[in-house]
Amino acid sequence: MKFSITILGCNSAIPTLHRNPSAQILNVHESLFLIDCAEGTQIQLLKYKIRLQRINHILISHLHGDHYFGLIGLLSSFHLLGRKNEIHVYAQEALKKILDIQLLASETKLTYPLIFHPINPEVHENIFEDDKLCINTFPVKHSIPTCGFLFKEKQAERNIRKEILSQIKIPYSEFDKIKKGADYISPKGVIYKNADLTLDPPPSRSYAYCTDTCYYEQIIPHIKDVDLLYHEATFMQNKAKSASEKFHSTTKDAATIAKKANVKKLVIGHYSSRYDDLEPLLSEAKNEFPNTYLAEDGKVFEID
């Protein structure tokens, strides 16, 4: 089952010709979640052949424009394409007013229900849960209120061993209970232990999204041991002062957080437009945390 991230934009506020500002698609078992939505995100979706209508959930980390200016355009395009399905937006309350005032100015009555879920970025909260995924927010530290997102796949059910089914006859009606961990008792009273009937499910996977933030150790408990961490690295280490003044991180900050949180893999992004070549940023982060990768527009990171 799919669990992947597609980078739609990896730059900080000012776009460049090859790097759009923040937006990503998380694909969880073919359900698509859009994380942040900078200006131009709908063009990036077109470019990377991601069908707009497959997106049902949009999460916005904070209200700097490079994280949401593309949202109203995307919502308008959904409307013009005649969308009927609900769209769920998770963001700070103020964004609702920003969307409403623009829909009012164009006299637009959306063709689909827009369900707005207000986020309080100051606290750690659960904002989404279904049978496959759970999403929690956690506060990060930036110049305005901002949160990170932790996406955690639900533990899958146990797998019934195929060879068992050819040895003993188990009614189909018992499958669900066995997958959930129950033993099986045959009509003759024979007890088959669950451990003999099933195999462990694959471990559940997790992804943490942390941008924009300065170096902030309080996020570590929230992102501990995740499979993949996206952490901003706006600047190289020689710009540590600028980073700190602007509540952003350096390459080393991101890598140190990854190391201390014991994550499996780190992806850095949200680069300042000053950097044409990103290899020096990668190299700096790798010095601290070797399993680091560069976010680049169009790149896909699969979590196996």
Tokens of 137: 């927010």
Residue 29 region by backbone torsions, left for phi larger than 0, else alpha for psi between -120 and 50, else beta: left
How far apart are the C-alpha atoms of 95 and 294, rounded to whole Å? Answer: 30
Residues 110-169 that bind a copy of itself (CB under 8 A): 143-144
Contact flag: residue 16 with a copy of itself (CB under 8 A): yes
What number of residues does the chain have?
304
Tokens of 229: 């961490």
Residue at 253: amino acid letter: D
> Closest approach of Cβ 106 to a copy of itself, in Å?
5
Count CA within 13 A, CB hemisphere, residue 191: 5
> Closest approach of Cβ 278 to a copy of itself, in Å?
18
Nearer to a copy of itself, 68 or 289 (CB): 68
Q: From 209, 74, 93, select the one nearest 145 (Cα to Cα).
A: 93
Nearer to a copy of itself, 13 or 282 (CB): 13
Residues 31-70 that bind a copy of itself (CB under 8 A): 39-40, 42-43, 46-47, 63-66, 69-70
Contact flag: residue 298 with a copy of itself (CB under 8 A): no
User: Which residue is catalytic, options 66, 212, 227, 253?
Assistant: 66
Nearer to a copy of itself, 76 or 291 (CB): 76
Nearer to a copy of itself, 58 or 258 (CB): 58
Tokens of 203: 């471990």
Could you identify the residue written with the tokens 């923040």? 22
How far apart are the C-alpha atoms of 71 and 57, rounded to whole Å? Answer: 12
> Closest approach of Cβ 90 to a copy of itself, in Å?
16
Instruction: Find how far residue 273's CA is from the centre of its chain.
Output: 23
Contact flag: residue 304 with a copy of itself (CB under 8 A): no
> Closest approach of Cβ 243 to a copy of itself, in Å?
16
Query: Which three-class secondary structure state does DSSP give residue 225?
Result: coil
Concerning whether 130 is annotated as a catalytic residue, the answer is no
Site string for a copy of itself, 18-37 (x = CB under 8 A): --x-----------------
> Closest approach of Cβ 81 to a copy of itself, in Å?
7
> Closest approach of Cβ 139 to a copy of itself, in Å?
17
Peptide bond into 212 cis (omega under 30): yes
Q: Among 51, 82, 84, 106, which residue interacts with a copy of itself (rule: CB under 8 A)?
A: 106
How far apart are the C-alpha atoms of 70 and 83, rounded to whole Å? Answer: 18
**Burial class (CB within 10 angstroms; exposed 0-12, middle 13-18, buried 19+) of 168:** exposed
- What are the catalytic residues? 66
Binding site for a copy of itself (CB under 8 A): 13-17, 20, 39-40, 42-43, 46-47, 63-66, 69-70, 72-73, 76-77, 80-81, 92, 94-95, 97-98, 101-102, 104-107, 143-144
